[in-house]
């Protein structure tokens, strides 16, 4: 959406601007604060989902450790006793606790003009993605997420090949609503872009693939 | 509206390109001369055949609002590019195309590399015609302005909506000598210096150092052996003077480095020969190159940020270069070629002048706001401990160099680390006037990136436990070309910057709506 420039951007080009342009002073303290909206935690089933998915992920290593220890196939392997299983189980437990805590800390908020997402336990980050920069929205859910009635929303901006922001652990309906809302915003923007031909950038709205190619 | 309907043409494919195809035979040694010739002839013939077929199968067609290219030897692909989506039109002309009046034309589009169009050999007049067509499609408002501006001018301005095919010859001639608006044209010395300063030097050094040092070593040891046999007393004398040998080696290394730098300088002169930056019709156009003449263009409105770079050597020579980052164009093309809009060899004294032309009047290096000194504290502590430990532990356990000297060594490492961290910290700086933001970073050299706050795509506020204890955060601005980081700011400052940036982004779009 970088195509849609405000007219003072013409300064960049060093050329005078023909359009009328207002630039009233803004009180920096009066600007909307991104810290202001209370962030919403992710859906409650997300914690359970995280627990189950972590256990599934760690089932295989645990099984492997068990095979090494209790089956006589690999005699002579170092650490050939319960300690190996205990170590793997401990790792699994730590991961589980970490991910549950991480699920606790995940939060997001939708403002009129941007989307805010907070993650992290020790290294925290808050990402603010202006709606105006969103090119493309996608919701997806794996089988396990489906089981818990969850979905994730992927947000793409121009230029990137991968999603710029992924919101995990939304309720299905919530995710669909969010997607519909954002798509509507994109459509509105695109229409507005078309009504003003000068501002209709190539990146206005539609997914950004420069060309259609066919075999 | 204009129509170039049904203009379907062979691309004058240049055959040279394909001669090189499939020359990956490394078994030349094991073959006799005749076989070698046979293989060579076969490859040339096959290459010729492939090139011919490729040429025959390569078709392009220019419609009113789009261009279509069909190509492919075994698998035909057809790509259609709508002009309104083209970001950028680039020409490049290798020297062997020059007498034929051909050029290579690339249309950059946002998105994947597969979907872009490259015509490997078209007549210059056709290429210019396509460029103008694309330009005319870009933004109608700009065109309207252009027409209004240029009605008084004599010859056909490059972009006039509605000019016909017959005018393209005109435009080509004009494009060759439109020099009215030269913004910047570095001299040969400047370009040579750019070659010295550019980081490419280290690349050459890495590429050549290995084989050459091997060669030197072999020669030298051979020479020493002979010396030992023929003149034992001289050899004796030589081994008595280790300093002389060290000096010799030192001189050799310096000489080698000087040679590489010379090479790099010459290559830069070759590559950027006759560099000229113009501003035509809301586009910056750079033309350069001795063997391969290139033309890159960048629309003013596409330019979202400019990186100013001074390398470590550049600092010695007081030289900069600038890179214009544009929306939707990757830094590297599919062939790994350099897609960046580079303005090489800017002397420190000319810097404000050049930047004023690019960014806006009265450009100058601002008074940098520092980042928190805690950045230095924590980083020197962490890195110092890490590197000190890295030296200390193997020093003790493996090499057994003695307790005291090991400690001294580790301390020296810590001191050097701290110094480097200090330099790094001192280089961090930022400045914002509320609409543009500039961030400086670097160690010995420096890198200044200036961008419009409204061009940000995303802002991220990060904090580690240490930062939170001291009320600090790090910021990450995502721009169309990548992330720009600004570490260790006081929370309030950072919040104000973030809010300001978001405000800029969101109101800029309201404005556009």
B266-275 pLDDT, tens digit per residue, is 888 888 888 8
Greater confidence, B32 or B258?
A: B258
Q: Does the distance separating the beta carbons of B282 and A130 come in below 8 Å?
A: no
- Output the 3-class SS for B193-214: HHHHHCCHHHHHHHHHHHHHHH
Handedness of CA A190, A192, A196, A199 (dihedral sign): negative
User: How many other C-beta atoms lie within 10 A of the C-beta of residue B277?
Assistant: 24
Contact B308, B322 (CB under 8 A): yes
Distances (CA, A) of A209 to A91, B81, B126: 43, 10, 26
Predicted pLDDT at B196: 81
Q: How far apart are CA B64 and CA B133, in angstroms?
A: 8
Cross-chain residue pair B511–A12, CB shorter than 8 Å: no
**Smallest CA–CA distance from A12 into chain B, residue:** B359
- Residue of chain B with shortest Cα separation from A164: B458
Q: What is the pLDDT of residue A56?
A: 94
Q: Using CB atoms, which residue from B110, B141, B481 is nearest to A210?
A: B110
Tell which wins on pLDDT, B406 or B426: B426
Structure confidence at residue B149 as a pLDDT band (50, 70, 90): very low
Note whether residue B399 is domain-resident: yes
Residue with the bigger pLDDT between B328 and A1: it is B328
User: How far is B366 from chain A, CA to nearest CA, in Å?
Assistant: 17
Q: Is the pLDDT score of B417 beyond 80?
A: yes
Find the mean pLDDT for residues A146-170: 84
Question: CA B285 to CA B181: how far, in whole Å?
Answer: 10
Task: Give residue A53's pLDDT band: very low, low, confident or very high (50, 70, 90).
Answer: very high
d(CA B513, CA A194) in angstroms, rounded, equals 10
Interchain contact, B110 vs A9, CB within 8 Å: no
What pLDDT does A213 receive? Answer: 36
Q: Which residue has tokens 């009047």?
A: B361
The predicted pLDDT at position A210 comes to 36
Evaluate if residue B25 carries a pLDDT over 60.
Answer: no
Predicted confidence (pLDDT) at residue B170 exceeds the cutoff of 60? no
Does residue B123 register a pLDDT over 50? yes
Helices B403-427 and B374-394 sit at what angle, rounded to 10 degrees? 150
Residue B238 lies in a domain: yes
Position of tokens 């597969």? B114
Give the strand pairing for B77-82 and B66-71. antiparallel
Nearest to A211 among B109, B480, B495 (CB): B109
Contact at CB, A210 and B81, closer than 8 angstroms: yes
Tokens of B366: 């601002």
**What does the DSSP 8-state code read for residue B6?**
T
Predicted local confidence at residue B12, as pLDDT: 40
ipTM above 0.85, yes or no: no
**pLDDT > 70 fraction of chain B, expressed in percent and rounded:** 78
Indicate the pLDDT class of residue B151, thresholds 50, 70 and 90: very low
Give CA–CA dist A82/A76, Å, rounded: 14
Nearest CA in chain A to B359: A12
Highest mean pLDDT among B16-20, B31-35, B299-303: B299-303
Contact A34 B139 (CB under 8 A): no
Quickly state the pLDDT bin for B61 (edges 50, 70, 90).
Answer: confident
| pLDDT mean over B279-283 | 77
* Position B433 confidence tier, pLDDT thresholds 50, 70, 90: confident
Domain boundary among B13, B38, B55: B55
* Distance, CA of B135 to CA of B158 (rounded, Å): 9
Confidence label for B111 from pLDDT (cuts 50, 70 and 90): low
Do B299 and B141 form a contact (C-beta atoms < 8 A)?
no
Residue of B nearest to A193 (CA): B513
Looking at beta carbons, which residues of chain A come within 8 Å of B457? 2, 129-130, 133, 157-159, 164
Confirm whether B481 is domain-assigned: no
**pLDDT: which is higher, B492 or B220:** B492
Q: Which of B36, B55, B74 is the last residue of a domain?
A: B55
Average pLDDT of span B207-214:
75
Does B207 fall in a domain? yes
Interface test with chain B among A116, A136, A155, A159, by most B beta carbons within 10 Å: A159
Confidence of residue A205 (pLDDT cuts 50, 70, 90): very low
Q: Given this model, what pLDDT does residue B400 score?
A: 67
pLDDT bin (cut points 50, 70, 90) of residue A148 is very high
The residues facing B347 across adjacent strands are B319
Nearest by CB to B85, which of A28, A126, A211?
A211
Q: Give the whole-angstrom CA distance, residue B356 versus residue B285.
A: 16
Beta bridge mates, A119 = A125
Q: Does residue B389 carry a pLDDT above 90?
A: no
Among A52-56, A196-200, B86-90, B222-226, the range with the most confident prediction by mean pLDDT is A52-56
Give the chain B residue whose CA is nearest to the CA of A10.
B301
Residues B284 and B297 sit within 8 Å (Cβ to Cβ): yes
Asked whether the predicted pLDDT for residue B392 surpasses 50, the reply is: yes
Q: Is residue B164 part of a domain?
A: no
Looking at per-residue confidence, does A32 or A215 come out higher? A32
d(C-alpha B44, C-alpha B459), whole Å: 55
pLDDT, position B429: 93
Token pair in block for residue B193: 């210096």
- Nearest-CA distance from A151 to chain B in Å? 23
* B324-333 confidence digits (pLDDT tens): 887 655 555 5
- Token representation of residue B372: 């928190």
Answer yes or no: do A6 and B462 touch at CB < 8 A.
no
CA distance B449 to B452: 10
Strand B341-347 to B292-299 pairing: unpaired
First to last CA, chain B: 27
Q: How confident is the model at residue B6 (pLDDT cuts 50, 70, 90)?
A: very low
Residue B489 confidence (pLDDT) = 94
Rounded to a whole number, what is the distance in Å from the CA of B476 to chain A's nearest CA?
9
For residue A191, give Cα distances in angstroms to A70, A131, A187, A195: 67, 15, 6, 6
Q: What is the mean pLDDT of residues B137-153?
A: 45
Confidence of residue B155 (pLDDT cuts 50, 70, 90): very low
Q: How far apart are CA B280 and CA B294, in angstroms?
A: 16
Residues of B whose CB is below 8 A from A9:
301, 452, 454, 508
Taking CB atoms and an 8 Å limit, are B480 and A129 in contact across chains?
Answer: no
pLDDT the model gives residue B420? 93
Q: Which tops the pLDDT comparison, B184 or A55?
A: A55
Residue ending a domain, choose from B426, B459, B486: B426
**pLDDT, position B21:** 41
Higher pLDDT: B144 or B506? It is B506
What pLDDT sits at residue B8?
35
Band (pLDDT 50/70/90 cuts) for residue B158 is: very low
Average pLDDT for B350-369: 83
Percent of chain A with pLDDT over 90: 41
If one counts the domains in chain B, the total is 3
Provide the mean pLDDT of chain A: 77
| pLDDT computed for residue B470 by the predictor | 94
pLDDT band at B337 (very low <50, low <70, confident <90, very high): low
- Chain A, chain B: beta-carbon pairs less than 8 Å apart: 206
DSSP of B331-348, one letter per residue? SB-TTS-B-SEEEEEEEG
Q: Has residue B322 got a pLDDT over 50?
A: yes
Mind giving me the DSSP string for B410-424? HHHHHHHHHHHHHHH
pTM of the model: 0.73
Q: Angle of helix B232-240 relative to helix B200-230, nearest 10 degrees?
A: 130
What is the average per-residue pLDDT within B171-189? 62
Answer yes or no: are the C-beta atoms of A117 and A167 closer than 8 Å.
Answer: yes
Say whether residue A30 is in contact with chain B using an 8 A CB cutoff.
no
Work out the pLDDT band at B512, boundaries 50, 70, 90.
very low
Average pLDDT of B22-29? Answer: 45
Name the CA dihedral angle for B459, B462, B467, B473, rounded to a multiple of 10 degrees.
Answer: 0
Full domain range(s) for residue B36: 2-55
Confidence of residue B425 (pLDDT cuts 50, 70, 90): very high
CA atoms within 13 A on the CB side of B485: 9
Distance from CA of B493 to the nearest CA of A (A): 11
Q: Is the model's pLDDT at B363 over the cut of 60?
A: yes
Q: Which of A116-125, B3-12, B110-119, B333-342 has the highest mean pLDDT?
A: A116-125
When the pLDDT of each residue in chain B is averaged and rounded to a whole number, the result is: 76
- In B411-491, which ranges are E strands? 429-432, 436-441, 446-452, 458-463, 472-479, 482-490
Give yes or no for a contact between B135 and B259, defined as CB atoms under 8 angstroms apart: no
Cα torsion B258, B259, B264, B265: sign: positive
Please report whether residue B396 resides in a domain.
Answer: yes
Q: Could you say which DSSP state residue B373 is in?
A: T
Residue B260 lies in a domain: yes
Give the helix/strand (H/E) hosting B106.
Answer: strand B102-108
Q: Please check whether residue B479 lies inside any domain of the structure.
A: no
Q: What is the predicted pLDDT for the residue at B130?
A: 82
What does the pLDDT read at residue A144?
92
**B448-463: per-residue pLDDT in tens?**
999 988 888 899 999 9
Contact at CB, B502 and A128, closer than 8 angstroms: yes
């Amino acid at each position: 959406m970088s195509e849609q420039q405000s007219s003072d951007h013409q300064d960049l080009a060093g050329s005078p601007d023909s359009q009328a342009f207002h630039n009233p002073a803004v009180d920096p303290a009066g600007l909307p604060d991104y810290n202001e909206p209370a962030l919403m935690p992710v859906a409650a089933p997300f914690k359970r989902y995280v627990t189950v998915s972590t256990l599934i992920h760690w089932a295989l290593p645990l099984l492997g450790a068990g095979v090494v220890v209790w089956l006589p196939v690999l005699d002579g392997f170092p650490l050939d006793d319960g300690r190996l299983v205990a170590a793997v189980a401990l790792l699994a437990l730590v991961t589980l606790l970490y991910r549950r805590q991480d699920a606790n800390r995940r939060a997001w908020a939708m403002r009129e003009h941007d989307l805010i997402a907070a993650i992290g336990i020790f290294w925290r980050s808050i990402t603010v993605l202006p709606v105006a920069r969103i090119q493309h929205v996608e919701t997806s859910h794996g089988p396990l997420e489906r089981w818990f009635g969850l979905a994730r929303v992927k947000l793409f901006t121009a230029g990137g090949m991968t999603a710029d922001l992924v919101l995990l652990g939304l309720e299905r309906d919530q995710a669909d609503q969010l997607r519909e809302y954002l798509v509507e915003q994109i459509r509105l923007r695109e229409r507005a872009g078309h009504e003003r031909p000068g501002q209709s950038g190539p990146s206005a709205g539609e997914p950004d693939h420069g060309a259609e190619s066919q075999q | 509206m204009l129509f170039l309907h049904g203009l379907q043409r062979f691309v004058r494919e240049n055959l040279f390109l394909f001669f090189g195809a499939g020359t990956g035979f490394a078994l030349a040694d094991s073959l006799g001369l005749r076989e070698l010739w046979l293989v060579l002839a076969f490859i040339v013939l096959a290459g010729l055949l492939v090139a011919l077929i490729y040429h025959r199968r390569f078709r392009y067609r220019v419609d009113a609002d789009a261009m279509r290219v069909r190509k492919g030897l075994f698998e035909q692909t057809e790509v259609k590019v709508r002009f309104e989506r083209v970001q950028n039109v680039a020409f490049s002309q290798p020297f062997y195309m020059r007498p034929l009046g051909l050029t290579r034309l690339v249309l950059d589009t946002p998105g994947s590399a597969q979907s872009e169009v490259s015509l490997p050999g078209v007549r210059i007049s056709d290429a210019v015609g396509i460029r103008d067509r694309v330009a005319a499609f870009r933004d109608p408002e700009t065109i309207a302005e252009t027409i209004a501006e240029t009605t008084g001018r004599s010859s056909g301005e490059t972009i006039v909506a509605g000019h016909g095919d017959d005018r393209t010859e005109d435009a080509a001639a004009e494009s060759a000598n439109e020099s009215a608006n030269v913004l910047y044209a570095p001299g040969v010395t400047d370009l040579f210096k750019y070659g010295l300063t550019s980081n490419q030097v280290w690349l050459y050094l890495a590429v050549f150092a290995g084989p050459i040092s091997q060669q030197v070593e072999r020669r030298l040891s051979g020479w020493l052996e002979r010396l030992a046999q023929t003149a034992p007393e001289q050899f004796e004398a030589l081994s008595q003077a280790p300093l002389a040998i060290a000096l010799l080696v030192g001189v050799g290394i310096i000489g080698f480095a000087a040679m590489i730098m010379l090479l790099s300088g010459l290559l830069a002169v070759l590559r950027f020969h006759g560099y000229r930056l113009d501003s035509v019709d809301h586009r910056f156009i750079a033309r350069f190159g001795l063997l391969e003449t290139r033309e890159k263009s960048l629309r003013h409105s596409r330019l979202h940020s400019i990186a100013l770079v001074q390398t470590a050597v550049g600092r010695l020579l007081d030289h900069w270069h600038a890179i214009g980052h544009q929306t939707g164009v990757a830094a590297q093309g599919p062939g790994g070629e350099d897609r960046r809009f580079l303005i090489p060899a800017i002397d420190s004294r000319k810097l404000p002048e050049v930047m004023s032309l690019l960014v806006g009047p009265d450009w100058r290096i601002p008074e940098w706001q520092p980042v928190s000194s805690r950045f230095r504290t924590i980083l020197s502590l962490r890195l110092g401990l890490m590197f000190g430990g890295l030296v200390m532990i193997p020093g003790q356990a493996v090499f057994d160099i003695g307790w005291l000297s090991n400690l001294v060594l580790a301390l020296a490492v810590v001191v050097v680390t701290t110094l480097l961290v200090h330099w790094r910290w001192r280089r961090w700086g930022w400045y914002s006037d509320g609409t543009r933001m500039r961030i400086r970073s670097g160690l010995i050299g420096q890198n200044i990136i200036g961008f419009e706050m409204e061009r940000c795509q995303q802002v991220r506020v990060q904090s580690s436990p240490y930062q939170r204890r001291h009320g600090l955060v790090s910021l990450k601005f995502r721009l169309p070309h990548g992330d720009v980081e600004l570490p260790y700011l006081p929370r309030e400052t950072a919040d104000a910057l973030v809010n300001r940036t978001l405000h800029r982004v969101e109101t800029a779009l309201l404005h556009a709506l």
